[in-house]
Amino acid sequence: MIIVVSDVHLGYEGHCNYKEFNDFLIKCNESDIEHLVLLGDILDFWRTKHTKLIMDPKYAEVYETLGNLKAKNVHYVTGNHDYCMMDIRARCDKAPGQTAYPFEISRTLRLSDGGSKFYFFHGYELEALLSPVFRGDIGRYERVSEHMCSSHSKTISEAESGIWDIKEDIARYVDRLQNDIEKLEKPPQDRDYINEADKLASSKGLYLLLGMMPDDKLVYGHTHKPYINRAGTIANTGSWVNDLPKEMPRNTYVKIVDGQMDLKTFDPRATL
């Protein structure tokens, strides 16, 4: 069994359902899980300073549970709000005898189950491909995300202050960049490219842009809009935040058994 969850946004003050997420992780520890995939934006370093987020006592139980996950394999795929985890992974790789951290950290992930192959990525890549500012440059989007994680700024001007070092020609795009940063700081459902992102995810040729295989089943998050397509080949994990439209499900995850994907809403009274 593979369990996939994303977009908890620990640190999104007043909006992250951290208590329910901790209950979910406890349920995971009570289940026989081959792979537990934390599919990005589990932590929200865009909105909260690293040390403040880690020292916040209300999240202490969640951190303890995260550090004691019992799935046979635990994978952390970085999102845009926790992209700095890639730097942590790099530093751990340099430490003698330490390669895994408490879990594996990567930008993307491939797993097989029940004869099907699955490709996991957070989903910010879709937004980068669609954005007229980033113009398909996923690397640039990641550099901006890394800066946003480190600046934990509250205003657009503060966020922009360190972006000029990202690329020498960035000044040519200053007006469009400011507009794009403003959009990035909005909840996903309020950003222009999110609806298009789900359409892009279903495109037959998407594998050519992402480096996946044509027959891979795709699992992503980022848009906070949970769904599985009719063919059962594409799934979005949804989110654990409460700033969503009333009609949109929350506290959702994807369960994969024998190659089949199932979109679930967490129920603390039920098994996963």
Note down the domain range covering 61.
2-125+189-265
Provide the whole-model pTM.
0.86
- Render pLDDT for 17-30 as a digit per residue (tens, 0 to 9): 999 999 999 999 99
Confidence band of 89 (pLDDT split at 50, 70, 90): confident
Residue 244 in any domain: the answer is yes
Q: DSSP class of residue 211?
A: T
Choose between 160 and 9: higher pLDDT.
Answer: 9
Residue 114 in any domain: the answer is yes
What rounded mean pLDDT belongs to the chain? 85
Residue 181 in any domain: the answer is no
Residues of the chain with pLDDT > 90: what percent?
58
Residue 90 in any domain: the answer is yes
Residue 138 in any domain: the answer is no
- Render pLDDT for 201-232 as a digit per residue (tens, 0 to 9): 999 899 999 989 999 999 999 999 999 999 99
- Render pLDDT for 34-49 as a digit per residue (tens, 0 to 9): 999 999 999 999 888 8
Residue 233 in any domain: the answer is yes
- Render pLDDT for 144-198 as a digit per residue (tens, 0 to 9): 888 888 765 444 434 444 444 444 444 444 455 555 555 555 666 566 666 788 8
Residue 214 in any domain: the answer is yes
Confidence band of 56 (pLDDT split at 50, 70, 90): very high
In contact, 152 and 49? CB cutoff 8 Å: yes
Q: Which of 100-114, 171-185, 257-271 has the lowest mean pLDDT?
A: 171-185
pLDDT at 194: 67
pLDDT at 160: 44
How many angstroms from the chain centroid is the CA of residue 118? 16
Give me the long-range contacts of 133-139 (CB less than 8 A, separation at least 24). Answer: 133/173, 133/176, 133/177, 133/179, 133/180, 134/180, 136/209
Q: Is 27 helix (H, G, I), strand (E, B) or coil?
A: helix
Q: DSSP class of residue 77?
A: E
Residue 103 in any domain: the answer is yes
Cα angle at 227 between 221 and 229, to 5 degrees?
115
Total count of domains within the chain: 1
pLDDT at 93: 67
Q: How far apart are CA 241 and CA 226, in angstroms?
A: 12
Q: Is the pLDDT of residue 138 over 60?
A: yes
Indicate which CATH number applies to the domain containing 15: 3.60.21.10
pLDDT at 59: 97
